[in-house]
Each structure stands twice: as C-alpha cells, then as structure tokens.
Amino acid sequence: MTRGKRIYVLDTNVLMHDPTSLFRFEEHDVFIPMTVLEELDAAKKGQSEVSRNARQVSRFINELIENDRNRKIEDGLDLRLAQGLRLDRGPKIGRLYFQTQPNDSGSANGKKRGIPDNLILASVVALREAHAGTPVVLVTKDINLRIKASIAGITAEDYENDRALDDFSLLYAGHNELPADFWDQHSELRSWSERGHTFYELTLGKTEDWHPHQFLYLPGENEIELRVLGIKDGKAILQIVDDYSSGSHTVWGIQARNREQNFALNALMDPEVDFVSLLGTAGTGKTLLALAAGLAQVLDQQRYREIIMTRATVSVGEDIGFLPGTEEEKMTPWMGALTDNLEVLTSPQEGGAWGRAATNDLLASRIKIRAMNFMRGRTFLNRYVIVDEAQNLTPKQIKTLITRAGPGTKIICLGNVEQIDTPYLTETTSGLTYAVDRFKNWEHSAHLTLRRGERSRLADIASEVL
C-alpha cells in the first residue's frame, strides 16, 4: 500500500447505511474485512432499504472486480485482489483492499472468537501490524464497537461523510430578528403596495445573509413581521406577512398563537412555495397548522385535489406485529396525530353529533393515508402531501418522497430531530436536516423552526423539566 495514505477499515453498518461510502475517502485506501462481506451476504435478502443497500454494495464491488479483471486481462496479467482495486469514482483515486488472510487467533486481545465485532477488530490489528508505517482507522456507526476499539488501542471514527452540517446548532432556522436600527441602516429603500400587500426593496448589508422566504421580525414599539420574497443582484424584496393571529383572519378556524406559527401559516398558504419544512418539539403545532392549511386549500380554495398523509413507521416501544386490513387500515394506528388534530378541526358549533359525523365523512374522502413503502414509481398531481415524523427518514428516503411530486403538488415535511428512533441516524445525518440545508437557497421553499409549545401548560412544563 502507498506510503503517506491512511487506510480506512469499513464496518458493515457504514456500507449498509451509505453504499457509496466506498468512494468517499478521496486518495486514501479502503479495507473490507471478510466478516463484513459475510454480514452483507446475510443481509441481502428482503425488501428493506438496508437489504437494498447491501445488494448495491455487492454490485459496486463486483463492478470494480470486473473492471479490474478486464484491464489486467488486456495487459496479459492475472487479477490479484491482494494488490488492490482502483476506486476510480472521484478526482482522487485510492485503492480497495480485502482481507485475504484468515485471522490466526480469531480474536483481538484475547476476546471471544466468532463474534463479528471481535473478528473485525482482529483484522484491524493484523492490518496495522502488516503496515506499521500507515495509519489505520476503523470507521463504524456502532458506538459499542468504537468503545471496544478504543480499549484495544485502535483508532476508530464515526462515518461523517453523510452529515448535512457539522453542528446541528448551525442549522438554518428560517426566521431571524432584525436589529433595532434596521430602518436607519436602510434609509434608502423603495416601498409600494400591490393587491393588498406592502413591499420593500432594499440593498443587502454585509451581515444580512438572507435566504428566499426567510422570515424577519422587528420586536418592540415598531413591531413588524416581514418575509424575504426574493434576492437578486445584491437586493432583497421584502413583504409584510399576513396576520393569522386575529380572529377575523383564520385558516380553517385556526389562528396563530405566536409569531412562529404565523410565519408557518404564511408559508403553508403560499401557492408559490412548493416545499415547506417545519421543525419543532412536541406541542408546537406542526401537524395542526399543516392540516388546517391543507383543508383550507383543498376544500375552500380547491387549489389541490386531496391531502395525502404519510409517515415513517418506526415503533417507539416493542413491535406489536402485523396489522390486518387494507393499506389505509394498516396505517391508521400510526396516524394518531392525524386523528387527534382532526378532532380539533372538525368540532362544529352547530349540528351536534350529526354535523360532526357529516364533517368527518367529508374529510375522510379528501384525506388519504398512504404507506411510505409503496411510494416508488408514483407521481402526485395537484396533491397536498404531509410527511410526518420526517426526522426518521434517511436522505435517500426523503429524496425518494420529494421526487414523487408532480405539477401543482406541495410537500410539507414535519419532524422533531430530538426524537429520532431510527438506528444510525443522528441530528446531523437525518434526512429532514439534509432537506432543510439543501433547500434553503431555493426560491420556492420555506423552513420554520417552531420553539414555543402551545399544547397546554402541563405539556410545556413537562418538556422543560422532564
């Protein structure tokens, strides 16, 4: 192996999490233990994303072997995997190596033989001894294996190439407070009114790193709430937002209880915004706002044909097994948030039980519950799609969902990154975080982080003290 390079040993969970991780280490070399290949083979059967990823890794490796074999045959040479395969994807080329010698002891530092983690550690120890002058790093998403590696004196790291950003606190929040002297800084601005809205055009300052549909507010006596409509040639166009906090201007009977909810309703009700992401803890009103805006635009404005609601089916506790019935009936137990919020939205003042039943029947015909498993190949036309619990989706899964959008479709992703229930996903690698970061510069997307809970005083204090 070439001097001056590092050798990265990949664990099975890294490859099953991101099949392209083989090609993500630039000029450095990659080593795959035999135990990892065996675990990939054991995981290849099934329809889950993990199984599909395991099969994709095998296809990548087979393609590399075939390409290398063809080159060697043309040169009149035999293929030797021990010499490494060229990883040609990318500007910098490393090599891929496999474990070709069995572990003599089958254990690392005397640990029990046969446990996959220990066999991987043993292969790392043997590799490090064979290449004493080259740093060897074990890359795994398994925290316990990293702890074992540290005990054995092996350098171990988490796989970080799929991080949307280094620190979750740096994630774009979607709204920003303006300085008290904002108007003094922009004394030369142009303002006008059009179709009942007030607009401002101003030159961006050095510190004003704004994004399309970012919400701005100036608290105090001269309180004002604005939205960035567009940025071009160093100038920004701002619009005073609609006020949904008053009883005379509500969305399906729902009014905003705080500034953040008002911003969210402005984004949800804007037909020019095709993608909306709402982050927030329990009780901030994400689902209620999304549903109210959807019902208003499907039933009142008839902007969309129907509401489609889906979510990642990840159990918080023990799995209760298979659920009987149709696709919609199987998904119903997962949709408690939908039914809870519909109770708030379908409580008519008149008509009693009959009126409530009629309203529920009407809404049931316009709200469809769909399982995420069957989204591939579909195209949604003029639909209002709500993706709940989006923090449990990988970047690949969220791409699969968003690319289903056809003409006239709006997609709303809701989630709380503090409640990730999927193994190997973190705040910085969640598909929801990935989507927020990648969409923030697009002129037809909006993002809001809701921080203030509005569920009840009991829920508010519980989220703080428990």
Q: Which residue has the tokens 């039933």?
A: 299
Tell me which amino acid residue 386 is: I
Tell me which amino acid residue 388 is: D
- Helix residue ranges, H only, 251-334: 259-268, 286-295, 327-331
pLDDT computed for residue 110 by the predictor = 42
Integer Cα distance of 303 and 271 in angstroms: 8
Could you write out the DSSP letters of every residue in 56-78? HHHHHHHHHHHHHHHHHHHTT--
Are 307 and 367 within 8 A, CB to CB? Answer: yes
Q: Which residue has the tokens 């995997």?
A: 81
Integer Cα distance of 1 and 5 in angstroms: 8
- What is this structure's pTM? 0.79
**What are the structural domains of the chain?**
7-157 (3.40.50.1010), 168-465 (3.40.50.300)
Q: Which residue has the tokens 């975080």?
A: 433
**DSSP 3-state assignment of 252?**
coil
Q: What is the pLDDT of residues 289-337, one digit of tens each?
A: 999 999 999 999 999 999 998 887 654 444 445 556 665 666 566 556 6
Query: Which one, of 170, 348, 175, lies nearest residue 258 by Cα?
Result: 175
Q: Which residues contact 26 (CB under 8 A, 6 or more apart)?
A: 90, 92, 94
Catalogue the E-assigned strands of 247-323. 275-280, 306-311
**DSSP 3-state assignment of 189?**
coil
Query: Which one, of 315, 423, 421, 376, lies nearest residue 52 by Cα?
Result: 376
Q: What is the pLDDT of residues 230-274, one digit of tens each?
A: 999 889 999 999 999 987 789 988 999 999 999 999 999 999 999
- Tens place of pLDDT per residue across the chain (466 aa): 445 689 999 999 999 988 999 998 888 999 999 999 999 999 998 877 788 899 999 999 998 888 876 555 444 444 455 577 888 666 677 889 998 877 765 444 444 456 899 999 999 999 999 888 899 999 999 999 999 999 999 999 999 887 777 778 889 999 999 998 898 888 888 999 998 899 999 999 888 899 999 999 998 877 899 999 999 988 999 999 999 998 778 998 899 999 999 999 999 999 999 999 999 988 888 999 999 999 999 999 999 999 998 887 654 444 445 556 665 666 566 556 666 777 777 665 555 666 666 666 677 678 887 777 667 678 899 999 999 889 999 888 899 889 989 999 999 999 999 888 887 788 988 999 999 999 999 999 999 999 887 778 887 788 778 7
What does DSSP say about strands 197-203 and 235-240: parallel, antiparallel, or unpaired? antiparallel
Structure tokens belonging to residue 229: 């409509």
